[in-house]
Structure 1
């Protein structure tokens, strides 16, 4: 017995289809040439990716994932820190202060030089990051602003403006940044062993 069929099947394929296939082959060849030209070309076969290409693609994907969300401000080094602080100052002075901070009092302090208080920078930056996420209906729906007020803004303002917060030593006319610094504590590590 033979493995081949007795009769070849009739293929009723329109002539236009063959032309379309040939056009697709030509377009694929052009695109392949263009890709090789733009990427500097490589010796990998058509449709095959070299190990270097895969490693570069993985590295690029990791970099994209790494910067998908803004980093916490205290983890940044200059000039990224300075840029982030400028943007934070714009938001605090343009949105937070006029919209949420009434006249300071003994029970609700505020320092006009808040950006010189590291604790204030850290807390306000966290509130700002949450605000960016939670005020966009596309990402969090219409309940985002309520969640932002309840979970982020209100607790942060209680901590910042409270009697033991970073502005505790600041009054309306006086700014004091070193009031929160603890006194130096002798350390066993710094004492000379005899």
Structure 2
């Protein structure tokens, strides 16, 4: 039987199980605090202890992080074979199927283009970045109806200026012995035929 409250003390009615709930909340708070410290400081030891004492909430958070990582492909220059090769094939398909016929006029001294663009690392990097942005910004569910405009302004136009400019990666493709035969975009040979060569 609980002790009678002393004179002057308020009588508190505490529901059964409330102390257990408070202890559970404290434990969850400490786990989340440890996780935040681990993420901000990058301590491997704290990660191991947080994982060892992890809860279902930690597992759900890990699953969510894995799903997010799976949703967004990594930047192409960070990949190794065979992932790099697979991503490059998909990029080539997009460049030759969408970008070349839709956006590239006949190459000139002011607007260079190399039909072997995939052999230029800088071109691969810039075009891959533009392609990743295109995938996101042409989906009305994720960006609304202004996404394509944003993609043109913030991604495509700057990428093409850098690639096709006089100091861009294709500069050597129109000068002296480094000259590569340029063709109209509709006549650009398929990169698939050059991949095995």
Match of 1:175 among 158, 174, 180: 180
Asked whether 1:145 is paired with 2:148, we answer yes
- Counterpart CA distance in 2 for 1:79 and 1:97 is 25
- Counterpart CA distance in 2 for 1:60 and 1:151 is 32
* Shift in CA distance, 121/58, structure 1 to aligned 2, threshold 3 Å: same
Give RMSD over aligned pairs.
2.3
Using the TM superposition, give the Cα deviation of residue 155 of structure 1 relative to its aligned residue in structure 2, in angstroms. Answer: 0.5
Residue equivalent to 1:183: none
Normalised by the size of structure 2, how large is the TM-score?
0.59
Residue equivalent to 1:130: 133
Match of 2:71 among 68, 72, 94: 68
**Relative contact order: is structure 1 or structure 2 higher (C-alpha 8 Å, sep ≥ 6)?**
2
- Counterpart CA distance in 2 for 1:149 and 1:60 is 34
Q: Which runs of 5+ in 1 are unaligned?
A: 1-50, 177-194
More helix by share: 2
Q: Which runs of 5+ in 2 are unaligned?
A: 1-52, 182-197
Normalised by the size of structure 1, how large is the TM-score?
0.59
Instruction: Report the structure number with the largest CA radius of gyration.
Output: 1
* Shift in CA distance, 58/134, structure 1 to aligned 2, threshold 3 Å: closer
- Counterpart CA distance in 2 for 1:59 and 1:151 is 33
- Counterpart CA distance in 2 for 1:168 and 1:56 is 51
- Counterpart CA distance in 2 for 1:56 and 1:151 is 37
Between 131-140 and 162-171, report the one with greater CA deviation. Answer: 131-140
